[in-house]
Amino acid sequence: MSRIAACMAALKRSGRKGVITYVAAGDPSPALTVPLLHELVRAGADILELGVPFSDPMADGPVIQRATGRAIARGVGLRATIDLAAQFRREDGKTPVVLMGYANPIERMGQEEFVAAAARAGVDGVITVDYPPQECISFANELKKRELDPIFLLSPTSTDERIAQVAAAGAGFLYYVSLKGITGAGHLDTAAVALRIPQIRARSALPIAVGFGVRDGASARALARMADAVVVGSRLIEDMEKAGEGGAIAAAGKLVREIRGAVDEV
């Protein structure tokens, strides 16, 4: 059982919902990334998404684009992201780490080399936004062989066929994008999510995490009532930007504690 599966199973046994946090590797700085990850865990994050900086992030809004742009300017790419994950893993052997990014850096590195490097680093899952499940079965299988979970996105427009494909190829959890749009968009419709989640559950036994619309404790609480976990990213980066490099880690911890408390009320 992967760390992700074990984490989600433990949450279910305890009657709790998960908190998943997204930050970009190398932001607010490479030196602060690992301390930031540890603070997120202390604040209540169950699973960490570590964004791989990429120059053309098609699913990401301006907030995450700025974060990955800052990281790229500091020389952080896929290999550096994997190294940061390895540094974190040397001090934390329990918290699952998911790399989230795009196909281009993986293709440039080579799928086989990427899978091996991620496994050595102690990574637990991979979200590749622009790898359609039906076109990367071999990649997903290679990940699973190394006990890495391939995690796929579902959206409000996903067909029953796509849900079935994702359920067959994926592992760890399913990532449901709560709205039609990019990360950080502000038009979350919880009623629409409430209608969609049962349709997904009817076709997959995997836990469901909902993201792209979590802004605060209230939105996290609302989504946690229907999902197994909530994902916060853009708002986290916004708060760190406002706090500046010196206050970024404290600002991130404050927001995650708010969300953790709200989710635990469910």
Report the catalytic residues: 49, 60
Q: What is the SS3 assignment for the chain?
A: CCHHHHHHHHHHHHCCCEEEEEEECCCCCHHHHHHHHHHHHHHCCCEEEEECCCCCCCCCCHHHHHHHHHHHHCCCCHHHHHHHHHHHHHHCCCCCEEEEECHHHHHHHCHHHHHHHHHHHCCCEEEECCCCHHHCHHHHHHHHHCCCEEECEECCCCCHHHHHHHHHHCCCCEEEECCCCCCCCCCCCHHHHHHHHHHHHCCCCCCEEEECCCCCHHHHHHHHCCCCEEEECHHHHHHHHHHHHHHHHHHHHHHHHHHHHHHCCC
Provide the token pair at 86.
């390895």
Report yes or no: 249 and 29 within 8 Å, Cβ to Cβ: no
Provide the token pair at 147.
């006990």
**Rg (alpha carbons) of the chain, rounded to whole number:** 17
In angstroms, the CA 125 to CA 202 distance is 24
In angstroms, the CA 143 to CA 2 distance is 11
